[in-house]
Amino acid sequence: MALPPSGTTDEAFLREVDEEYRRDQAVRIFQRYGRWIAIAVVVALLALAGYLYSQHLATSAAGKRGEAYDAAMRMIEQGQPDKAAPELEKIATSGNNGYAAMARIALGNVALEKKDAKGAAARFAQVANDTGFEKPYRDMALVRQTAAEFDTLKPEQVIERLKPFTDPNSPWLGTAGEMVAAAYLKAGKTAEAGKLYGQIAQGGEKIPESIRQRAVQLAGVLGVDAIDQSKETKAQ
């Protein structure tokens, strides 16, 4: 190896040697593994392209399901549930997406309109018992299922199913709470029923006004002083 030029420091010379060594190593590695590196890059790019394409297809499919669901719901609103049913059936069998869940619930609602409580409950149960669906859909379906089956269930069954929905922060406090309170009355547990009606009455605007008004009246009958505070606040 030639001596470093005069005036060059040892540190600069050693750095130059180190850089040359690194370049030489990089060339050798590429010569040895360059083909496999290129293949790996191509595979990675193909995988990325496949992922992006699948995402595009999923988004496109979701958009089409949404359009079909909206069209079916418009048919129902126009008094054509029998015409909407086949379209809802297609969406209902499209997997575990939100539109599939809502389509099954809609089919259950159609069955209820036809006084087919058993068929409606079966539709709701398909969603409520399928852990592949997101929890909000399963919760909605369970509440609807219990409403459809209410007259055939024992009070204890209603309470067991819906008690978790009577939490003050639950979005289902009004609907589920009414059923649980009614089940308490059936079971002769008037104190528990009165307390729950009072809780519903003071649940605020997240509970429909008609449910709050009933809760105030029933709580009063059961000896609970329940005031619809949200209504009073509006009056002020």
Encode burial over 69-86: b for 16+ CB neighbours within 10 A, e otherwise.
beebbebbeeeebeebbe
**CB–CB of 141/105 below 8 Å?**
yes
List the end-to-end C-alpha distance of the chain, in Å, as a whole number. 96
The Cα–Cα gap between 215 and 127 comes to 29
pLDDT of residue 15: 65
Q: Token pair of 218, please?
A: 């029933």
The Cα–Cα gap between 153 and 35 comes to 69
pLDDT of residue 129: 95
The Cα–Cα gap between 143 and 234 comes to 30
Dihedral of CA atoms 147, 176, 77, 80 in degrees, nearest 10, equals -20
Q: Fill in the amino acid letter for 108.
A: G
pLDDT of residue 64: 74
Question: 0.75 cut: is pTM over it?
Answer: no
**CB–CB of 177/144 below 8 Å?**
no
pLDDT of residue 36: 54
State the DSSP code for 189: -
The Cα–Cα gap between 30 and 43 comes to 18
pLDDT along the chain (236 residues), means of 10: 52 63 63 57 55 48 75 89 91 85 93 93 95 94 95 96 93 94 95 94 88 91 71 45
Q: Token pair of 98, please?
A: 């939100």
For residue 228, the tally of other CB atoms under 10 A from its CB is 19
For residue 189, the tally of other CB atoms under 10 A from its CB is 16
- CA 112 to chain centroid, in Å, comes to 23
pLDDT of residue 223: 87
Computed on alpha carbons and rounded to an integer, the radius of gyration of the chain in Å comes to: 33
State the DSSP code for 202: T
Q: Which CATH class is domain 42-151?
A: mainly alpha
Place of tokens 């519903």: 200
The Cα–Cα gap between 212 and 181 comes to 13
